[in-house]
Amino acid sequence: MRAPASVRVRTTIAATLVVGLSLTVAAIGLVLAVRATLYDAAQTSADQRAEELADDIDAAGTVDGAVSRAERPDADDVDDEAEDGDDPDDADPDEVVWQVIDAGGQVLAASQQLGVALPREDGRVELPGGDAPYMLGVADADIATDAGEDAEVSVVVATSLEDVHETTTALVAPLVLGVPLLLLVVAGTTWAVVGRALRPVDRIRREVDEITGARLDRRVSEPSSRDELHRLAVTMNRMLGRLQDSQQRQQQFVSDASHELRSPLASLRQAAEVTRAHPAALPEGELAEVVLEEAVRMQGLVGQLLLLARAGEGALHQREEVDLDDVVLAATRRYRGAAGPDVDTSAVSAARVHGDAAALTQVVTNLADNAVRHARNKVVVGLTQHSDRARMTVEDDGAGVPAAERERIFDRFVRLDEARARDGGGSGLGLSIVRAVVEAHQGTVHVEGSAAGGARFVVDLPAAR
């Protein structure tokens, strides 16, 4: 398959074609306009000459009285042409020829013998022996007849268009030569300018091509000009920065996940090795309990990791309307009558959002579990909807979250109470899942101080319309 032409080639060809087409149309239009103007001028000249002769005839009353001898062919001239062997009717017509023609089409007077009568109408005509067409001008006049009555005659003047053709030809020649030369200049200029403009792009391409996954810390050079190329370089560097951050988070995530998975696997292996070496060391049924407990822990951890991955890749389904109040009430129902802090859901009101019901249920569950785990006596869950936003709050009366740690607690595998037992402290993924799911739903989540003295988590989501 043939490779497509470069931007430089395509731009040069496009600019040359556009300019060439424009110049060609303009040149043709110029030639046509000049020719039309010269034609109009010749027509005006012929009409004026015919009007002048007609006025003279009207004033004199006769053709002979209005047209001098000098304006008509001389008999001696005709005789001289005959002596020279030339037929007077075959002589080349002058640049301006006129005839006075009666109603019957007979030529009464003429500036030159043509052998034919001129048409008595405006327009163009070919004359015998003429090198170019003639433009006709016609005017009417009255003469006296021998019977004492006035007779109408037509005065026809023919003006040669040879000068029009010569002028048009002289105009076409420089245009035929000048347009291609100008196109060469346009093509060369476009080629040079585009090449210079794209030089930074080619440099950025080479620099990006040298960046590998192991060298995401490198950046492309930013042009000093504050134009589109500068913004392209800045955007490219921001993208490289995001890729570097993503890579670092991924590496940290893999490291932390490996560490978290290593613990239950080590427990399972230890229990199995002890039982094999000393079958009577563990009470009957304890091995099964250890295996079940660690398997449940691993299952929960793997499920949380998969949910994080889905949220990070944008794989959550967000195509259905969800009654968020039903999700909240269903997720907190298991705390009713259970030992531990009281969970109050009286502040939950109706709210609808677009999203993944299962993922939103996980958000409510994680926040509620976190609050119950840190509360002393009470957890309050609230839900409201105002215009286009739905807000859910979960607060407790525990020790709260220090201001300096309120952003860090949403990172993966972060537990502020590292000294607590694993069963009480959780895996450190719950709040990370909350943030990932909420952001996948185009929402926000943050933690602040509670009026009860503990922590207050606030989730804002776009409401369904």
Per residue in 219-251, pLDDT (tens digit) is 888 888 778 888 888 888 888 888 888 787 777
Residue 45 has what pLDDT? 93
306-336 residue pLDDT tens: 776 666 655 565 568 999 999 999 999 988 8
Which value, to the nearest 10 degrees, does the dihedral of the CA atoms of residues 274, 280, 283, 285 take?
Answer: 80
Q: Which residues contact 157 (CB under 8 A, 6 or more apart)?
A: 46, 47, 49, 50, 53, 96, 97, 98, 136, 137, 138
Structure tokens at 317: 């389904």
CB of 94 closer than 8 Å to CB of 120: no
Q: Provide the pLDDT confidence category of residue 212 given band limits of 50, 70 and 90.
A: confident
- DSSP-derived 3-state class of residue 183: helix
Q: What is the band of 70 on the pLDDT scale with cuts at 50, 70, 90?
A: very low
Mean pLDDT of 30-50: 93
Across the chain, mean pLDDT equals 83
pLDDT(103) > 60: yes
pLDDT digits (tens, 9 = 90+) for 381-391: 999 999 899 99
**Does pTM surpass 0.75?**
no
Structural domains in the chain, sorted by start: 7-168 (3.30.450), 212-315 (1.10.287.130), 317-462 (3.30.565.10)
Phi, psi (rounded to 5 degrees) for 220: -85, 155
Q: Based on the number of CB atoms within 10 Å of its own CB, is 247 exposed (0-12), middle (13-18) or buried (19 or more)?
A: middle
